[in-house]
Amino acid sequence: MLEEFVGETWHRFITKRADKSYPEATVYLDEVRRTAGIFFRALGGEGGLRVENATDSDVHAKRTILQRIAGVGDKTQYAWRDEETLRLPDSIALFPTRQLNLDLYLWLTALSVIDDDDNDNDNDDAKAKDWISRNQYRTLQTLEIWPGLKTRYQDLLQAHLAQRPDAKELSKDEAGQETAIRAALMDSDKTVQLQYAKRPPQPVSLWLHPSPPQDEFTSSSAPPDPDIEDAAHSKEQKKKDQDKQQKRKQGNRTEMPEGNSGLMSFRLESLWSWGEYSKVDRTTTEDDDDDAMRTAEDMDNITVAQDSQTTSSKIKLDLDLPSSNYDDVVLGEGIPIDEWDYKKQEMQKAHCRLQTMMSRDAVPTALPERLRAQAHKVRRQFEVLKPQRVWKNRQSDGTELDLENYINYLTDRKHGHVNSDTPVYRELRNQDRDLSCLLLADLSLSTDAHINNESRVIDVIRDSLFLFSEALNATGDRFALHGFSSRNRNHIRFYNIKDFDENYNDEVRGHIDALRPGYYTRMGAAIRHATDQLSKQATTQKLLLILTDGKPNDLDKYEGRYGIEDTRMAILEAEKLGIRPFCVTIDEQAEDYMPYLFGSRSFVLIRNAAELPKKLPLLYLRLTKN
C-alpha cells in the first residue's frame, strides 16, 4: 500500500510539473459543438458537415526532461475538415484563460471554412503542397473576408508565440525551423521553407492539420471492402450514449495474418446492419467479461487488415427473413422515386423504388382500454376546433338584416349620406378549417429499443397515433397516417395506415395496432412520396408531420452526409409546393443535425419518449391554431 501511495503521489507531482496546459481554463468541444456548427455555417461553410472530435496525432518534436519522465507531450489534436465532418480537438487548455481557449475554437472553425483549392492551383508546386503555405493562405483569406476576427487572432498569436520554444535553446537546425515558423505566423505573406532537422518543429495550434489522416479506421477514403460496403451501424447501438465511442482513433492497415483460427463478432439484433470478421488467434481468454468499448478507449491506434477473400467465402448462414406468404401485403408494383446525390449535385431520376404495403396481421380493434381516459380528455380539448355555424355580418346579401349596420345606414341617409352599396345583411355560415395533415411515422429497426421497463419506442409510436387520430377525428380535419422503413434503395416500405378519404374506425385502429419495427430509415424517398400525396389535397394549408427516432440511414451508401443531404433536398421540395414539414423526434442527438434539415423552428425534440403520446396532439393544436 505504501508503494502504491508513493507511486501515485510521484505520478501526480511529476505530471503536474511537466504539463504545460491550464486545466482550470479548459474548454470542451461538447460545450461549443453547437456554437461551432452555427458559426461554421454562418461563415459560409457547408451546412451538411458534422462537428466531431479530432484524432490524436503523434508529436515527435523535442520534449523537456520532465515531459519525457511523465510521459506527456507526445500527443496533440489538430483541427481539420474532410468531406463529411469538421474535426476539432475534444478539449483545449493551451492558454491561461477560458476566453482564449474558446477563441481558438472559433478561429479554427473559421479557418476550416476557407478552401485552399485556389492556392493549390499556384504555379509553384512546392508551395502548393507545403502545409505552411496552405495555412498561411487560409489565414490571409480568413482575415481578409472577416476582418472582425483580427483582434481575436492577434491575441491568440501573441499567446501562442509566448509559449513556443526559444530558438536559442535549440540546436542549429531546429532553431532554423522555429525561426521560420515564427516568421510565417507573424507575416502570412512571407514565403518560408523548412530545412531538415533531426526533430520536427513544435505543433502550431493556430493552424489546421499539416497532413490530415487519410487512413482512419472510419475514413471514407479507405479501400472499399465488398463485405461491409453496403453495411450501416445499428441505430439502437448509436442511441446508447453511455456506450458510444466518442474519441476517434488513428487507423493503420496491415497484411492479413496467417492462421486458420479466428473470431467472428456480431450482435444478433444488429445482423441487418453490419458484421465484422477478425482473423485473429484467440483460443483462450483470461477475462470472460471483456469490455470491448473500454479496450477501444485505451487504444490510441487501431490496426486493421485488408483481406483478399470475401467473408462469404469463409462463412455462410441463412437469414431468417419472412417469406412472401408471411410478409406484409404488397400493394401494387412499386413506385419509382428520385434521390439527390450531393456529391454529383444532381437528382438521380427513378433511383429508388417505393413499395406501398399493408400489415397482414391487422384486424379491426377498439381503442385500447389504457388510452380511453386520455382519449376522452383529448377529444374534449379538440372539439372546440370542430367547424361551427357562425353569423357573418356586413353582407350584401343574406338571410336577415344586420340591425346594427342597418341603423347606421338609416342614420347616414337621414343626414344626406346615401350609399346604395352599404352591406346591411347577415348570414349563418359554416366555419371550416381548410387544413390537411399527413403524419409519417418512422418504423425502423431502432423502434424496437426499450425506453423503460414497460415500453418500447414502437409502443409509444402506436399510442401516439391512437391519440393523434382521436384528436383529429374530433376536429373533422382531413388527415392521413403512414409509416415507412427500408432495406435498400430498391425496397422502401411505405405502409398505408389511413388515407385521407378513409374514415377513422376500428379497421384503422387495427392497422395502428399491427405496426411492427421494420428495417432502416431512407427518409428522403418516404418524404417525397408523402409530399406527392399531400400536394393533391385541395386545402389551403398542408402539414407534413414526421415522427422519427434517429438520423436518415439505410444499407448501401445512404449513411452520414449522403442521407442527410437527400432528406434536406426532399424537405426543400415539399416547401416549394406550399407544404409545411415539421419533425417530432426523440433522438437525443437531434440538435446536431435537425436544424440543418428542418430549420430551428420546424422540429421539436421530445426528451422523454414516454410523453410523446400526450404531447403530439397538443403540438398539432399549436401548429394549426391559426
For the chain, the average pLDDT equals 79
- pTM of the predicted model as reported, rounded to 2 decimal places: 0.69
Same domain, 361 and 375: yes
Domain finish residue from 169, 186, 203: 186
SS3 state of residue 391 = strand
In a domain, 210, yes or no: no
Domain count, the chain: 4
Of 330, 350, 329, the residue nearest 525 (C-alpha): 350
Same domain, 349 and 276: no
Greatest CA span in the chain, whole angstroms? 112
Same domain, 415 and 476: no
Those residues whose C-beta lies under 8 Å from the C-beta of residue 345, and which sit 6 or more positions away, are none
SS3 state of residue 225 = coil
More confident residue, 197 or 147: 147
Q: What per-residue confidence (pLDDT) applies to 289?
A: 44
Those residues whose C-beta lies under 8 Å from the C-beta of residue 434, and which sit 6 or more positions away, are 539, 540, 541
Same domain, 410 and 537: no
Q: Which long-range contacts (CB under 8 A, 24 or more apart) does 179-185 make?
A: 180/132, 181/132, 184/132, 184/135, 184/136, 185/157, 185/160, 185/161
Same domain, 59 and 122: yes
d(CA 195, CA 62): 16
Same domain, 512 and 540: yes
Q: Would you say residue 241 has pLDDT above 70?
A: no
In a domain, 392, yes or no: yes
Q: Would you say residue 302 has pLDDT above 70?
A: no
Same domain, 518 and 473: yes
In a domain, 229, yes or no: no
Same domain, 377 and 444: yes
Q: What per-residue confidence (pLDDT) applies to 109?
A: 94
Average pLDDT over residues 208-235: 48
Same domain, 23 and 163: yes
Burial class (CB in 10 A: 0-12, 13-18, 19+), 421: exposed
Domain finish residue from 154, 186, 218: 186
Same domain, 393 and 357: no
In a domain, 223, yes or no: no
In the chain, the percentage of residues whose pLDDT exceeds 70 is 73
Average pLDDT over residues 317-333: 61
- Cell numbers that stand for 350 in this block: 427513378
Strands 435-442 and 80-81: unpaired
Average pLDDT over residues 450-467: 92
Strands 27-28 and 91-92: antiparallel
In a domain, 116, yes or no: yes
In a domain, 216, yes or no: no
Local confidence band at 119 (pLDDT 50, 70, 90 cut-offs): low
Spell out where 290-366 has E strands.
Answer: 301-305, 329-341, 346-358
Q: Would you say residue 490 has pLDDT above 60?
A: yes
306-310, 362-366, 475-479, 582-586: segment of lowest average pLDDT: 306-310
In a domain, 226, yes or no: no
Q: What per-residue confidence (pLDDT) applies to 129?
A: 63
> What digits encode the pLDDT tens for the residues 73-116?
678 889 998 888 899 999 999 999 999 999 999 999 999 999 87
Of 500, 592, 585, the residue nearest 549 (C-alpha): 585
Q: What is the CATH number of the domain that holds 444?
A: 3.40.50.410
d(CA 622, CA 204): 52
Same domain, 7 and 133: yes
In a domain, 70, yes or no: yes
Q: Would you say residue 71 has pLDDT above 80?
A: no
User: How many CB atoms lie under 10 A from the CB of residue 479?
Assistant: 24
Same domain, 371 and 393: no
Domain of residue 293, residue span: 235-313
> What digits encode the pLDDT tens for the residues 596-618?
999 888 999 999 989 999 999 98
